[in-house]
Amino acid sequence: MSSNVSDLLQDIEEKEANAYKEVEVHKDIELNYDLGHLLASDTNPLNLKELRSNTNSFLQKLTRDNCQLVVNKLYALQSKVIDGFQVAQLPAPITLLPRSKPVPKPKPPTKWELFAKEKGIQKKKKEKLVWDDVAKEWKPRYGFKRINSERDDWLIEVPDNNTDPNVDLFAKKVEEKKERIAKNELQRLRNIARAQKLKIPGTGGVLPKLSDTKEELAKVVSLAKSSTASLGKFEETMKDEKPVKRTKKRKYGDNFGDVKAETEKSLEILDHIQNKNPKIDIDKAVNSLISTEEKE
């Protein structure tokens, strides 16, 4: 009976030692940890003999040991209990990972941004709230319930005696705002068109640039000249100025035109085609030569 108890105790001890052995892993060189990524790198040399003889079991054991080391480290970290689960708090990752997507290209600058850069104008931070002296309270600079809102205007003075008193100044204000919005939209589209190098309607494709070629300048000059009320009819030409070449408008012949002339022109074209063909029919000559040779 006593032997039984001691056996049992020994058994239990052995099992405990085994369990402890599985948890504790010995390594000659300690692993490099990056717990933020749950990463550990093993720099210990591999046992090549064993790796070759029984690859699978060796790799499995190595992986298990290393995983065990990572898990050991995790248990050593500070932990919290969230919803009844113990959660380890990971430190910030050390290894830098490359991004999966390329770095986004910078947006093409708008016309204003270009101008501001040239003039050295910098953006100033403005407070969101502004003091309204009339209402005696802070109001947002823009947006709902903003300062100087049209909603606050219950009365608009007629500016002076010269203006027509029957004009609805409220409607005029709304109209002006609509126009400002439309202008902004147009400028936005122009910015897009400029960025994509499209032709911008209404400019005939000529916009001032830093480097205008001679042809481009000539185009601009001709466009400016023809942009008068009389389409440039009375514009003076400078000395040595060459007239601008214009592409001919495509014109088709008349359906009911001179039939004789039309036929004659067709015949002329036909003559031209046939004159192009060689006078000596080489194929025929070769063929006749072959046939005579065959007869011989």
Partner 1 sequence: MRPLTEDETKLVFEKLTKYIGDNVRQLLQRSDGNYCFRMQKDRVYYCSLRLMRLACNLSRKEIISLGTCFGKFTHSKKFVLHVTALDFLAPYAKYKIWLKPSAEQQFLYGNHVLKSGLGRISENTPRHYGVVVYSMADLPLGFGVAAKSATDCRHADPMSIVCYHQADIGMYLREEDTLI
Side-chain half-sphere of 143: how many Cα atoms within 13 Å?
A: 6
Q: What is the rounded distance in angstroms from the CA atom of residue 39 to the CA atom of residue 73?
A: 11
Dihedral angle sign, alpha carbons of residues 81, 83, 85, 88: negative
Per CB under 8 A, 261 contacts partner 1 = no
> Contact with partner 1 (CB under 8 A): which of 53, 63, 187, 266?
266
> Contact with partner 1 (CB under 8 A): which of 279, 284, 295, 296?
284
Rounded to 5°, the CA angle 98-102-104 comes to: 125
Per CB under 8 A, 253 contacts partner 1 = yes
CB of 273 to partner 1, least distance (A): 6
> Which among 62, 78, 66, 74 is positioned nearest to 30, based on CA atoms?
66
CB of 247 to partner 1, least distance (A): 16
Q: Hey, is 41 helix, strand or coil?
A: strand
Query: What's the length of the chain?
Result: 296
> Contact with partner 1 (CB under 8 A): which of 45, 106, 202, 257?
257
Site stretch for partner 1 (CB under 8 A), options 80-88, 121-129, 204-212, 258-266: 258-266
CB of 290 to partner 1, least distance (A): 5
Which token pair is 248? Answer: 């001919």
Per CB under 8 A, 269 contacts partner 1 = yes
The contact mask relative to partner 1 for 213-252 (x = CB under 8 A, - = no) is: ---------------------------------------x
Residue 45 CB burial class (10 angstroms; 0-12, 13-18, ≥19): exposed
Q: What is the rounded distance in angstroms from the CA atom of residue 108 to the CA atom of residue 241?
A: 39
Q: What is the DSSP letter of 207?
A: -
Per CB under 8 A, 278 contacts partner 1 = no
Residue whose entry in the numeric block shows the structure tokens 């032997």: 3
Per CB under 8 A, 255 contacts partner 1 = yes
Q: Which residue, 32 or 287, is less far from partner 1 as judged by CB?
A: 287
> Contact with partner 1 (CB under 8 A): which of 247, 259, 275, 278?
259
Per CB under 8 A, 157 contacts partner 1 = no
Size of interface with partner 1, in residues (CB under 8 A)? 23
> Which among 194, 174, 196 is positioned nearest to 186, based on CA atoms?
194
Binding site for partner 1 (CB under 8 A): 252-257, 259, 262-263, 265-267, 269-270, 272-274, 281, 283-284, 287, 290-291
